[in-house]
Amino acid sequence: MNLREYLKTTNLITDGAFGTYFAAKYQTQDIPELANITAPEKVKKIHEEYLNAGAKFIRTNTFASNTETLQEDFAEVEKNIQAAVEIARDAVNGRDAWIAGDIGPIPVNGAEDVAAAADEYYQIAKTFAERGVTVLDFETFADLGGILPAIKKICAEYEMFIMVSFSVNQFGYSAAGLSAKRLLADAAAVPEIDAVGLNCGVGPAHMRQILEKAGRPGDKFLLAIPNAGYPTLTRNKLQFGNTPAYFAEKMKELQALGADILGGCCGTTPEFIGEMSSWDGILNKIVLDTETDNGEQTGHVQRHGFLYDENGERKQKKLIAVELAPPFDADDEKLLESAHLLKNAGVDVLTFPDSPSGRTRVDSVLMASKVRQATGLSVMPHICCRDRNAIAMRSLFLGAAINDIHNFLIITGDPIPSTARQTVKAVFNSDSTGLMKIAKEMNEDVFAKNPLCYGGAINQGRKNLDVEIGRVKKKMEEGAEFFLTQPVFTKEDAARLRRIKEETGATILCGIMPLISRKNAMFMKNEIAGVNVTDEIVARYPEKANRKEGEAAGIRLAKEVMKMVEDFADGYYFSFPFNRVYMLQDIMGK
């Protein structure tokens, strides 16, 4: 019978863990996928044990069959996958059971690896398809992004049944910082995917709680494949808690939530699957109440952030943001003086960079918090992805919110300087768009009544402007409400930003940097990437100009740039060299 048709009337019992059972059964720490070539009988034996225990669905021993984990070229990976498929077929040997091609995450480190992995997922899927495997199980993923292109491409070429399962922690969040609810909803929106759910990460009790909160993923089949429990390290071996009887009892609760596909992940054995499959009614479909329960009214949403007035209404004015660079040391006296000076200057928000250029400065959120408490001004820390993982990012947003910080500029961040890379490691758990997904999800969940106000950066100097326009649109889809640009110096800069505004409708605060001397102009021209300081601008600053003359030239330049972008700019983002914020009064004519 077709798997889709089968699942409409009957629940499906899968096998249990392969890796942990292989390690325990054969007392080895070798990668089990290697046994597809070196010890196929060992692999076949495990498949047979799960089938004998009642599984009607087995996954090939290929979770880690990829070039990165096996440290082989793809030709060898292909041989490994092909061998795994033949072993699984030998094990089934005419039984009424399905075989799924198992695909796990490919370890990546950097954008180039991500692109290569996306292509390899497709090549792996194609290898299965060419061997006649019509079911693919993408399991233990933290998000959908990396595998989605492969899923769409393989389904355009072959008739496939696609399963996708995500791994989350006991609080319901993946390593990418996304909630189970968001992950399941995203996958459910993909027409090519047939079944979505969770595997690994948690035991059956926590998985039930998480799935109950997340809700059913649309009209997709729901799969629940938890671990046996939580592991402890005993004599350098992972030992999982819970008994087969307890596991089976909790799996009945998952069935009651409407899970269509039930099985086991790490720590489960044929005994666990046997106990579960022996329960009366485990294969029966559960008819759920399909009426929508909207729950309590969400109540009034109070918008905070520099875009909004005290009533939560969008401000109808040119917005003014001023950047204050946190100090390299613990002396904040000059920065606080600058902040107090700006208090009555009509500034909408003060922004604080997050250790730009990968060089340590005072933490942007803590600096913002102190300035807000000292001045009462609206503040906006920059948050970059270089130094924190998804868990830390969520904690940061929560901590900032309870300290009345609601504005954030979310950026990918500069890399660590090459001289420090031997001792300092970058995180880059996501890029700016990925972090915006986390912020968007938190706005829909924990900040539903008081959403964060976040935006991104625009690099109008990017060689391919269409790429930058696409990035702006993507960030807006993830909830970005505004954009700050690189400093504008020329009509060409203004024209490129005008086009971005026309094609996206984004709220844009144009970068204004009043250069203060010839030395300052030469530094920006030669040392800072993405900033278009021309020879004509440098020539405005005499070599032996005094401080007052240099600042006067900078003020004239700032006014010219503001006039250049006035027709489309929603505001201005000032970055004063050496925090000379007193220049703002002359620039604004006050």
pLDDT of amino acid 357: 81
Q: How far apart are CA 551 and CA 373, in angstroms?
A: 31
Contact 135, 159 (CB under 8 A): no
In the block, which residue shows the tokens 């829909």? 444
H helix and E strand count, the chain: 22, 18
pLDDT beyond 60 at 298:
no
pLDDT of amino acid 291: 45
6-20 core/surface letters (b: 16 or more CB in 10 A; e: else):
bbeeebbbbbbbbbb
- By the 10 Å C-beta count (0-12 exposed, 13-18 middle, 19+ buried), 170 is classed as middle
pLDDT beyond 50 at 293:
no
Token code pair at residue 89 = 């077929």
Contact 325, 382 (CB under 8 A): no
User: What's the average model confidence in pLDDT over 529-537?
Assistant: 90
pLDDT of amino acid 207: 95
Q: How far apart are CA 21 and CA 530, in angstroms?
A: 53
Amino acid residing at 165: S
Q: How far apart are CA 370 and CA 296, in angstroms?
A: 37
Question: How are beta strands 237-240 and 231-234 bridged, if at all?
Answer: antiparallel
Eight-state DSSP code of residue 583? H
Domains assigned to the chain: 3-277 (3.20.20.330), 319-515+569-587 (3.20.20.220)
Residue of 257, 285, 345 lying closest to 589 (CA atoms): 345
Q: How far apart are CA 508 and CA 499, in angstroms?
A: 12
Token code pair at residue 407 = 């504005």
Q: How far apart are CA 554 and CA 557, in angstroms?
A: 5
Residue of 380, 398, 376, 396 lying closest to 388 (CA atoms): 396
Token code pair at residue 397 = 């947003």
Token code pair at residue 118 = 């996306």
User: What's the average model confidence in pLDDT over 562-566?
Assistant: 96
Give the three-class secondary structure for 27: coil
CA dihedral angle for residue 526, residue 532, residue 534, residue 537, rounded to 10 degrees? -100
The mean pLDDT of the chain is: 91
Confidence category of residue 295, pLDDT binned at 50, 70, 90: very low
pLDDT digits (tens, 9 = 90+) for 397-442: 999 999 989 999 999 988 776 656 667 777 887 889 999 999 999 9
pLDDT of amino acid 294: 40
Q: How far apart are CA 77 and CA 73, in angstroms?
A: 7
In the block, which residue shows the tokens 């924990």? 446
Q: What is the number of other CB atoms lying within 10 angstroms of the CB of residue 117?
A: 19
Residue of 34, 61, 36 lying closest to 50 (CA atoms): 61
